[in-house]
Structure formats: C-alpha cells, structure tokens
Amino acid sequence: MSVDKHYLEALSYRFPTISKASTEIINLSAILQLPKATEHFISDIHGEYEQFDHIIRNGSGAVKNKIEEEFGFELSPTDKRELATLIYYPEQKMQLVENTGINMHDWYRTALFRLLRMIKRSSMKYSRSKVRKTIDPDFVYIIDEMLAENEVSDKEKYYEGIMEAIVKTGSARACIIAFAECIQRMCVNHLHVVGDIYDRGPGPHIIMDKLIAMKRDVDVQWGNHDVVWMGAACGNLACIATVLRLSARYGNLDIIEDGYGINLIPLMRFAMDTYSGDPCSCFNVKYDGAHDPSDVTLDMQMHKAVAIIQFKLEGQLIKRHPEYGMDDRLLLDKIDYDKKTVTVYGKEYPCEDVYLPTVDPSDPFRLSEAEEALMRRLQNGFLQCQKLQQHIRFLFNRGSMYLIRNNNLLFHGSIPLNEDGSFREVELDGVKCKGRELMDQLDACLRRAYYLAPGPEKDFASDIGYFLWSNAASPLFGKTKMTTFERYFIKNEKTHNEPKTPYYELYDKEDVVLGIFREFGLDTEIGHIINGHMPVKQKKGESPIKCGGKLLIIDGGFSRAYYNTTGIAGYTLISNSLGLKLVYHEPFTSTDDAIKTGSDIHSETFVVENVKRRLLVADSDNGKRLLTQIEELYALLDAYRDGSIREKS
C-alpha cells in the first residue's frame, strides 16, 4: 500500500515512536478477531416514546437472551424477570424494592454481583478499551478490576471487599444504574433508525432527546414524516402547515406548543374568529387516549383552519414547480360553491364542506391577510425554536436518504422504479437523474435547504421537503398520489385510494432486487435491503420477508394508529455475529406496568439468516477501516526504519 508522505508525517504526531505505532497495530489486529458487534434496526416509531424507550432498553430481547445465557437454570424465571427489569429501569426498580422494607444491604450485594456477571457476559465481544468507554467514568476502576477476576481463591476476599465498600459508602444505587446502562449499551452496539420518528404519537421530541443523549452509535435514514418536519425547520410554509395539520389531526398540537415551545395562541385565535359557529364536522380529531371534551370544538376549528392554509400553500408550491407534475393535486379551484360539488379527475362529487370563508374563488390559493400574518408568525416560531433546530440538526448530522452498512442497504421507503423494473428518471432543478444518483441529489438538496443563508435559493431548495413528503416520484412517499383533500371533502372512499408505486409490486422479483443491489454496490450473494414505511399486515398473513430474504420490511405498525391494521406493534431487526433475527412485538401496555409487574413487551423472534461461520469485526465495514489503518501504520513503521520520517521522541 502506497501512503502519501505528508499523510504519514501527520500520522506520526499521533504515533510518535516505533513502539507506539507497533502497539496500535497489535491492538487493532486483536480487535479484528473479535465477534462482530450487534446492530439494532427499528423503523416507523411515529412518536410512540414509551414503546420505543422500552425496546431500546431491552434491545429487542437481546438483554433477556444474555440473562438466559449467563444464568440458565441457576435463577428462577421470577429472578430472571426481576433482573431484566432492574437492567431496563434501574432507578425505578430500586425505588420499588426499597419501598418493600427488605434488607437493602443484602439486596444491593446480590444485584451488584449479578450485574457484574452480566457485564462480563455482554462485554465478551468488545475490547477492554471499548468497555471502559462504555461505562460511567466513576466506575471504570471497579469494572476493570472485576472483569480481570480469575479463579484464584486468594482474590475472592478482594472482590468481596470491593462490593462491601460500594454498599457501605452509599454508592450502590449509582453503581447499579451505571452497570445497568453499560449492559444495555453493550448488548446493542449500533442503532439504525430506518425513518419516521415524527407524527401521530405524542412523544417524537422526547425520542429525539433520547437519541441525542445515547452513548452508542446511532444513524437515521430519513422518513417522509421526518423530512416534512425538516422542511418546516427550514422555514418552508407548506411544510409548516402540513406539520401543524398532522399534529391537529392526531390531537398532538401540545407537541408543538409544550414540547417545542412554539406559540400557537395566534392559530387558536384565528381559528376561533374565522370558524366561530362552524361545526367543522369534516375535521374530526383522532385522539389517542383521554382528552378534555370542552376542547373538541376548538381543536376541530384549529384543524380546519390549518388544513385550508395547507391546501393553499401546497397549491402555490405546485405552481412554482411544474416539473413536480402535481397539477392534479390543485383542487381548491375545482369547488363549485353553488352546486356544493368538487370535480376530481373530471368527475363531479358532492363536497361535504363549502364553508370556506378565507378562500377567494377567483384566486383560491392566495392566503388572506390574516392567514399570511399568522403563517409568518408561525414560521418565525419554527425558525427561532432552539430545541427543534437542535433536533433537526441531529437528523442532518446523523441522517441521510440511505445508508450502506455491512452489505445492508437501508432506506425508509422505496427506490423509484418504472413498471418494467428499470430506474425511474426524475427531474430535479433542471437535472434528470435516477437510482443512486437520484437519492444523492435529493439528500444534497435537502441539506442545502437547511444550511444555505436565507434567500431565493434556500426557499427553492426547501420545497424539496414537500416533494419528498407527497410526490409520486419521491423515494420516501411510495404512492402515486396523496389524497388528503379527498379524505376531508368527499365521502366516496374510491377517491381516497392512494395506489402504491411499482417498487411495491416488484420487490419480490429477484432480478429487480439484484438490480438495486448492483446500483448501490452491494454483494449480490449476501446483501440485504432493509425498509420501513409500509406497515406489514401480519394479521392478514403478510410477511415482512420479501424476495427470499433479500429484502426485509420492518414496519409492523409501531404507531398505535396501525394496531388494528397490522395486528402487532412493530418489527425490529437484530444483526449480530451469528446472523439476522427478525423480532415482532405485541402492543406495549406502559412503562409503569413494566416496572411494577416485570411485564415485558411480548416478542417473538425468528431467524432470517444464519451465517456459516461466526462473523468477526474483520468481516464488517469497521473491520475494513481498521485494516486500512493497520496498513497505514505499517507504512509509518517502514518510514521510521528507513529514516524518511524521524521518531518524535
């Protein structure tokens, strides 16, 4: 391997001597022989924070599996369940135990020893250095000592002394919390979120806080519900209106007002003034759980107000972009107020609501003065919200349209295809592209929308958020049209149909899937595509495994809104050194139940693929990077030895 001398000079400051370079080569070479770390795939979370949090804590069953491996028949099922709950929720579990009045001294000692055994079990595939970085710094010394434990009897009192000192000094609680968190992180090393963190559920902002705080590798492949929030954070008015409408529809406006601190009083006042006395019967709110009946009328008024604004703003956007080919979605101008009908695709239907006081029939897509003022205030709120901007910046820093990792291609929705399986060509800003190039161009355009300084170029780029949300050529939408207008205004359910794009008709065909593999540089023998986006209707016998296991759809209906459709509460996927395992989950009751009764999400695991030999770090993408580093270090050693670079010490 030829390495540039200037690069070796820079490298020599990190490894200034032959000894240090040699030590690093030995360290990296040893890491290559460790088992491949566990990856956890999850998609379509849709604001369901409690269920997401629990699945992250239990690693889709990874923690339970480690408990079983370590303790087997040594512990009763009850003790194993108690230990699992302690690892998932250490603070809350300890509080419950303390409230029982038992001897906490003995309980702490037992818990600490069991947790240490779990750390030893779950750290087997990691270097000591990796484990040190995983544990709370205050307890690194203890972990180092205990992991070095051997069978020499004269050290038993030494380890007993450590445990006794932890309890007597009052450090047991903090130590148990640190140990439990360490186990969670080591059972799953890398988390892939395959899109749709936002909308429907009540806690997307809490999920984002948790992702940012995680002490493990995290990446996100953007979903259609994510990009519309990203467009809103860029200040795009159509995206802001869409985010507000979705939040209003699912009774979640408090996410925007309380979660992000964006003032919605102007929207409330506008809705009350404009739609006072209007039953707004087409704009029901899909509440999930308890709500105040006295708020229903106002919520429906706000829902209608922002929906009409969205239809106007998306109409303006569609007219700005004839290349989007969305003229069929211009429907506000198709309403006949005298006949109380609306014409869609040349056919006239009764229009369920024609009380639209802010719509000028001669210029239906123009905002009224009050709507214009309202949207500018809301736009300023989105742009100035520090918490929202922090969350969206995280999505840009850790996210992308797609990811290729360890011969797995991850993307949320689809790859735009023609009916014959060829890649669909799409025009973006005057440039035609398809396949991987299209995904790259969309990724770059959305980033420009966020990072460019305010101006026409930024405004133009920010419209891509709406394109990705609802266009037939969007990889994240995957349908030929979005019939939001029809669902509000037309009873005939035939008009509500949103046909899927060809990808969803072709993803069981091997030649099509292998064509995508080749386009993205995957190994056609061992590669996989991992998608979310389209809920798998397991109750109707649908399988998440497509094309003989080459393509996996892991959206099983995480959102409560889908439970009746799918029959389950989501799929997750685990990839470890032994292969791929798909896990499907029953609906989660509550965190409170999980802590008090030790109840867990009932999950079923089935093997998608077993490997012929255990995968090592050397087989992974990280292993390839380490091999490159080793070759560079050998080149540095040669440079030291032939005198072309001098040691620094």
Mean local confidence (pLDDT), 155-180 = 84
Stretch among 93-97, 401-405, 414-418 having the lowest mean pLDDT: 93-97
pLDDT at 420: 96
Residue 508 vs residue 128, higher pLDDT: 508
Please tell me the least confidently modeled range out of 116-130, 144-158, 308-322, 486-500. Answer: 144-158
Phi, psi (degrees; rounded to nearest 5) at 386:
-65, -40
d(C-alpha 124, C-alpha 182), whole Å: 13
* Single-letter code of the amino acid located at 239: C
Distance of CA 202 to the CA centre of its chain: 15
The pLDDT of residue 128 is above 80: no
| Residue 568: pLDDT over 80 | no
Picking from 218, 219, 243, the residue whose alpha carbon sits closest to that of residue 230 is: 243
Segment 326-351, tens digit of pLDDT: 999 999 999 999 999 999 999 999 99
> pLDDT per residue over 23-41, tens digit each?
999 999 999 999 998 899 9
Mean pLDDT for the stretch of residues 423-431: 90
Residues 6+ apart with CB under 8 A from 406: 36, 39, 575, 620, 621
What proportion of the chain, given as a percentage, has pLDDT over 70?
92
Residue 206 predicted with pLDDT over 80? yes
Res. 273: pLDDT tops 80 = yes
Note whether 1 and 631 are within 8 A (CB).
Answer: yes
Confidence of residue 505 (pLDDT cuts 50, 70, 90): very high
Helices (H), 192-284: 204-213, 224-233, 237-249, 253-254, 265-274
Which among 8, 217, 178 is positioned nearest to 94, based on CA atoms? 178
| 139-154 residue pLDDT tens | 777 777 766 655 445 5
For residue 511, the model assigns a pLDDT of 96
Q: Where are the beta strands (DSSP E) in 453-566?
A: 528-531, 545-546, 551-553
Instruction: Answer whether residue 604 shows pLDDT above 70.
Output: no
pLDDT tens-place string over residues 221-236:
999 999 999 999 999 9
603 band by pLDDT with thresholds 50, 70 and 90: low
pLDDT at residue 47 above 60?
Answer: yes
Q: Minimum mean pLDDT among 209-213, 281-285, 587-591, 624-628: which range?
A: 587-591
512 in Cβ contact with 420 (< 8 Å) = no
Report the percent of the chain where pLDDT is more than 90: 67
Work out the pLDDT band at 159, boundaries 50, 70, 90.
confident
Q: Give me the pLDDT at residue 155, please.
A: 60
Q: Which residues contact 498 (CB under 8 A, 6 or more apart)?
A: 479, 480, 481, 482, 483
Each residue of 536-564: pLDDT tens digit?
776 677 788 899 999 999 886 666 665 56
Kindly report, residue by residue over 453-471, the tens digit of the pLDDT.
998 889 888 999 999 999 9
